[in-house]
Amino acid sequence: MTCPIQARKFVVSLVALMKDVSLTKIGSRIGLEGKKVSHHLTKDHDLDDAVFEMLLQGAQATSHEVAAALACYEAVMEPHPELTPEERGIIEEAVLEVSQCYRELLIRAVPLSRAKPPLDGYPGAGDLEPARWLAGLQLDSLRELPAADRLPVVKAARELQTWALCERVAEESVQAASRDLGEAFHWARLARQIALRVRGPEDWRRLIRGYSAAFLANILRVAGRLKRADRVMEEARRLWSAGSDPGQVLDPGRLLDLQASLRRDQRRFPEAVSLLNRAFLLSRSRARILIKKGFTLEVMGDYEGAIKALLEAEPLLDRSSEPRLWYDQRFNLAVVLTHLGRYTEATELAEQAREVVINLGDEIFLQRVTWLRGRIAAGLGCAEEARQLLEQARREFAARRMWYDVALAWTEHAALLLDEGRTAEVKRLTLDLALVFDSEDVHQEVLKALHLFREAAEREAATAEVARRLLRYLFQARHDQGLRFTS
Between 90-99, 211-220, 321-330, 452-461, the lowest mean confidence (pLDDT) is in: 90-99
Let me know: does 173 contact 191? Beta carbons within 8 Å.
Answer: yes
Of the pLDDT bands very low, low, confident and very high (cuts 50, 70, 90), residue 101 is very low
More confident residue, 352 or 477: 352
Sequence spans of domains, the chain: 1-78, 362-487
Residues 6 or more apart from 57 whose CB is under 8 A from it?
A: 29, 30
431: phi then psi, degrees, rounded to nearest 5: -60, -30
Looking at residues 146-167, what average pLDDT do you find? 92
More confident residue, 334 or 18: 334
Burial (0-12, 13-18, 19+ Cβ within 10 Å), 225: middle
Structure confidence at residue 319 (pLDDT) = 83
Q: What angle, rounded to 10 degrees, do the helices at 23-30 and 49-58 form?
A: 110
Of the pLDDT bands very low, low, confident and very high (cuts 50, 70, 90), residue 73 is low
Q: Is the pLDDT of residue 350 over 90?
A: yes
Q: Is the pLDDT of residue 113 over 70?
A: no
Between 71-85, 103-117, 169-183, 293-307, the lowest mean confidence (pLDDT) is in: 103-117
Q: What angle, rounded to 10 degrees, do the helices at 181-197 and 163-177 form?
A: 170
Structure confidence at residue 185 (pLDDT) = 96
Looking at residues 52-72, what average pLDDT do you find? 75
Q: What is the DSSP letter of 433?
A: G
Please write the tens of the pLDDT for every residue from 414-435: 899 888 888 888 888 787 777 7
More confident residue, 111 or 142: 142
**Cα–Cα distance between 209 and 194 in angstroms, integer?**
9
292: phi then psi, degrees, rounded to nearest 5: -65, -40
Q: Is the pLDDT of residue 229 over 70?
A: yes
Please write the tens of the pLDDT for every residue from 173-212: 999 987 788 999 999 999 999 999 999 999 999 999 999 9
Looking at residues 157-161, what average pLDDT do you find? 89
Opening angle at CA 49, ends 48 and 55, nearest 5: 90
Please provide the DSSP assignment of 169-187 as one string: HHHHHHHHHTT-HHHHHHH
**Cα–Cα distance between 394 and 382 in angstroms, integer?**
18
Of the pLDDT bands very low, low, confident and very high (cuts 50, 70, 90), residue 77 is low
More confident residue, 483 or 397: 397
* Closest-CA residue to 390 (of 373, 415, 366): 373
Rounded to the nearest integer, the mean pLDDT of the chain is 85
Question: Which CATH fold topology does 1-78 show?
Answer: 434 Repressor (Amino-terminal Domain) (1.10.260)
* Closest-CA residue to 254 (of 167, 332, 336): 167
Residues 6 or more apart from 27 whose CB is under 8 A from it?
A: 33, 34, 36, 37, 58
